[in-house]
């Protein structure tokens, strides 16, 4: 069996062979003396004070316009694109013009990596240009890029816009769609701003296990694997919460981790099985302190990325200026549904959900029913960043009981653009209460709740040594990035989102 080659791919392989016959290495040693980027040239060039007489760039050849013995081309590097001017007589001094006539005009292709050396000037039309004095092939491209072209009738051809192709071949997407690169640069800056905020507050960045003997810290289904040497079952973490709390027990007063988590659940515009979360735990604080910290940090992110607290998301303007609205969960449900859930038992909640046409099943306890009502009837209506507080104890097995209201815990979620982007507690540090909560989770698991937590004896042992009053929060990096970069799908802010296996078309020899 062999992979079918297109006509263009065959031509490129023939060009590769001819290049080798000319004595040119199409994949030379990796060192090339780059001394600038196209972006640096654009910002620093001054014909009088900084004429840039000797620049050396490397990148992809993205366009060539041959005009006799002179040609114009475009090179794309990490800083963007810049025009090149190539003169045959300067590139090939003397009588031998074969290098230019054959190599440059016929054997180089769009997508090839080249290095150029020369000086900078401005054309008569005002285009900043590198006048090339030497050119080196750095890597031959054997597949044609889907370069966008517009014909005489204004029709666009070869645009790389199909979402499945773009997500599967992100390496091509990044080359031909400049906006994609900008999305990930903003995501990176967002993470750096959050990291700086926490480091400046004196918190320690740490790492905790991805492979765990027991999964915990969230209500979710895990991925399961097996360690051959230990002959034991392990799980990819669904959260890093329980390990970070162990570090607080150990004496660190503030710890955080940007963690890859894994949940064996559905996929959608808002869910990827592998996702990024930052979790922060601070001793001697509570969830009310954490509310102030979170809204200050995310407001700072908006200002850093946009120069304004207002962020455009689709047709909406979301404003992260403090203070954000704050409602208890019961208040939010009553405001948007007219139903007061505060005194309803499990049967009453199930009936309320039925009246709202919200599906339930027998595995759902009181907390899960309230969560379903809130998720279906309230969450889609919350566009501006909003704190939802005072959750039922059944929904929050790791949160401290409310100091003023029986049956509730000290917890908040941040809902923004109709989705949860943060979840925080005054952390439960009573080991006996924690054991009872874990045992309640086991009962829910026996009823069929696949997301119920496991009982973690080592974590309980850690709590028995004593954990100080602690506030903790988890913030969904991918969902926050969607908002901050104006994307409507989580796949647009993850470099390599999970995809169905690709089916390769093959033909027989």
- Which DSSP helix (H) or strand (E) runs through 98? helix 98-98
pLDDT for residue 506 is more than 70 = no
In the DSSP assignment, the letter for residue 379 is: G
pLDDT for residue 504 is more than 80 = no
DSSP assignment of 259-304 equals EEEE--S--BTTB-SEEEEEEEEEET--HHHHHHHHHHHHHHHHHH
pLDDT the model gives residue 453: 82
Domain locations along the chain: 7-145, 178-324+384-492
pLDDT the model gives residue 216: 87
Cα dihedral angle (118, 122, 126, 128), rounded to 10 degrees? 30
Q: Model confidence at 508, in pLDDT bands (50, 70, 90)?
A: very low
pLDDT for residue 48 is more than 80 = yes
pLDDT the model gives residue 21: 94
The set of residues, in sequence order, having a beta carbon less than 8 Å from that of 26 and lying 6+ positions away, is: 16, 19, 20, 137, 139, 140
The set of residues, in sequence order, having a beta carbon less than 8 Å from that of 185 and lying 6+ positions away, is: none
Average pLDDT over residues 423-451: 89
pLDDT for residue 480 is more than 60 = yes
pLDDT the model gives residue 170: 95
Which tens digits make up the pLDDT trace of 64-116?
A: 998 888 999 999 999 999 999 999 888 876 666 777 888 988 999 999 999 99
Phi-psi group of 72: left, alpha or beta (phi > 0 → left; psi -120 to 50 → alpha; rest → beta): beta
Q: Which CATH architecture has domain 7-145?
A: Beta Barrel (2.40)
Mean of all residue pLDDT scores within the chain? 92
pLDDT the model gives residue 64: 94
What CATH number labels 178-324+384-492?
A: 3.30.930.10
Which tens digits make up the pLDDT trace of 452-472?
A: 788 899 999 999 999 999 999
- What sign does the dihedral 320-241-466-205 (CA atoms) show? negative
Which tens digits make up the pLDDT trace of 126-141?
A: 999 999 999 999 999 9
Gap between the Cα atoms of 208 and 237, Å rounded: 10
The model's pTM: 0.90
Q: Model confidence at 160, in pLDDT bands (50, 70, 90)?
A: confident
Average pLDDT over residues 16-23: 95
Residues facing 394 on adjacent strands: none
> Mapping DSSP to helix (H, G, I), strand (E, B) and coil, where does residue 142 land?
coil
């Amino acid at each position: 069996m062999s992979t079918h080659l297109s006509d263009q791919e065959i031509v490129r392989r023939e060009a590769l062979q001819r290049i080798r016959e000319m004595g040119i290495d199409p994949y030379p040693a990796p060192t090339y003396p780059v001394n600038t980027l196209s972006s640096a040239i654009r910002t620093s060039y001054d014909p009088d004070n900084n004429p840039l007489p000797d620049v050396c760039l490397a990148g992809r050849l993205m366009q060539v316009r041959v005009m006799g013995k002179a040609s114009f081309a475009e090179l794309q590097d990490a800083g963007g694109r810049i025009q090149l001017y190539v003169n045959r007589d300067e590139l090939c001094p003397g009588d031998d013009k074969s290098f230019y006539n054959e190599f440059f005009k016929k054997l180089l292709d769009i997508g090839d990596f080249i290095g150029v050396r020369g000086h900078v000037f401005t054309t008569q039309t005002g285009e900043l240009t590198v006048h090339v004095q030497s050119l080196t092939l750095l890597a031959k491209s054997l597949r044609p890029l889907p370069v966008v072209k517009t014909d005489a009738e204004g029709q666009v051809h070869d645009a790389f816009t199909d979402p499945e192709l773009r997500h599967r071949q992100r390496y091509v997407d990044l080359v031909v769609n400049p906006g994609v690169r900008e999305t990930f640069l903003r995501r990176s800056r967002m993470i750096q701003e959050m990291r700086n905020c926490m480091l400046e507050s004196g918190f320690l960045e740490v790492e905790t296990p991805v492979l765990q003997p027991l999964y915990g810290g969230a209500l979710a289904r895990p991925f399961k694997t097996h360690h051959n040497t230990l002959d034991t079952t392990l799980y990819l973490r669904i959260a890093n919460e329980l390990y970070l709390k162990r570090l607080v027990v150990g004496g660190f007063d503030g710890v955080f981790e940007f963690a890859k988590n894994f949940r064996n659940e559905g996929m959608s515009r808002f869910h990827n099985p592998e996702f990024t979360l930052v979790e922060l735990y601070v001793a001697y604080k509570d969830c009310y302190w954490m509310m102030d910290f979170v809204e200050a940090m995310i407001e700072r992110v908006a200002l850093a990325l946009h120069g304004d607290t207002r962020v455009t998301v689709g047709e909406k303007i979301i404003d992260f200026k403090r203070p954000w609205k704050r409602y208890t969960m019961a208040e939010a449900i009553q405001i948007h549904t007219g139903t007061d859930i505060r005194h309803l038992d499990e049967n009453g909640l199930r009936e309320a959900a039925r009246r709202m046409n919200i599906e339930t099943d027998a595995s759902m306890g009181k907390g899960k029913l309230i969560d379903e009502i809130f998720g279906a009837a309230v969450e889609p209506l919350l566009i501006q960043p909003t704190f939802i507080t005072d959750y039922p104890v059944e929904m929050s097995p790791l949160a401290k009981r409310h100091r003023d209201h029986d049956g509730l815990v000290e917890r908040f979620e941040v809902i923004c653009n109709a989705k949860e982007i943060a979840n925080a507690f005054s952390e439960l540090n009573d080991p006996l209460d924690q054991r009872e909560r874990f045992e309640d989770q086991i009962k829910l698991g026996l009823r069929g709740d696949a997301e119920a937590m496991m009982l973690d004896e080592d974590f309980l042992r850690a709590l028995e040594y004593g954990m100080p009053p602690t506030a903790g929060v988890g913030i969904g990096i991918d969902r926050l990035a969607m908002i901050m970069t104006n994307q409507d799908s989580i796949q647009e802010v993850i470099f390599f989102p999970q995809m169905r296996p690709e089916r390769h078309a093959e033909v027989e020899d």
